[in-house]
Structure 1
Amino acid sequence: MLRPTVVKVVPKDDYNLLLEFNNGEKKYFDVKPYIKGSWFGKLNDKLYFSQVKTNGFNIEWSDGQDICPDDLYYKSVKLQ
């Protein structure tokens, strides 16, 4: 079975993302553990972080930062 893919992303406070998957699930994903180094460190800029978008499969930022689709699904917390 293939993992669900991201169809909608909404940036939230404290470097969290609200993700909606193609199976209808909605989950929160904490990006803070990824924000380090020169590449992902750019996400520390809240304006830049807020410009996240989905490509219908994954999420990405304009400079090319992205997060593994498996991480997005399996390391996110389902909304109650």
Structure 2
Amino acid sequence: MPQEAVDPFLISVTGVRVLARYYLELTFDTGDIKVIDMELLMWGPVFEPLRADYLLFCQVAADPVSGTVVWPNGADWAPDELYSKSKAAVPD
């Protein structure tokens, strides 16, 4: 049965957990569970503290207001980018 196309601009992250160093498991409001390696994506001043301090990185949370992942230092990531750059946690 073909899957319906997902509009990435209407996607929200509803859950997140750290799997391993800089790897996140993301749950989306579509029901999809995907995995992403954030290490190479985190560049620039707001992400530097997360690269330097793994314990800070592990404080990631899913914000129900913004619909994406956020960190205590104010860093966040667009949910449509997270969706498009991540891979299914369990391949089809």
Per the TM superposition, whether the score is higher than 0.5 is: yes
Unaligned runs of 5+ in 2: 1-6
Aligned counterpart in structure 1 of residue 14 of structure 2, from 4, 7, 14: 7
Alignment of 1:1-80 (within 5 A): 1=7, 2-44=9-51, 45-56=53-64, 57-80=67-90
Inter-partner Cα distance in structure 2 for 1:23 and 1:16: 20
Aligned-residue Cα RMSD (Å) equals: 1.4
Q: Hey, which of these two has a bigger chunk of helix by percent? A: 1
Partner Cα separation in structure 2 for residue 35 and residue 79 of structure 1 = 21
- 1:3 is displaced (CA, Å) by 3.2
Q: TM-score, normalised by structure 1?
A: 0.88
Contact kept, 8 Å, 1:58 with 1:66, in 2: the verdict is yes
**1:12 & 1:68 partners in 2: Cα distance?**
20
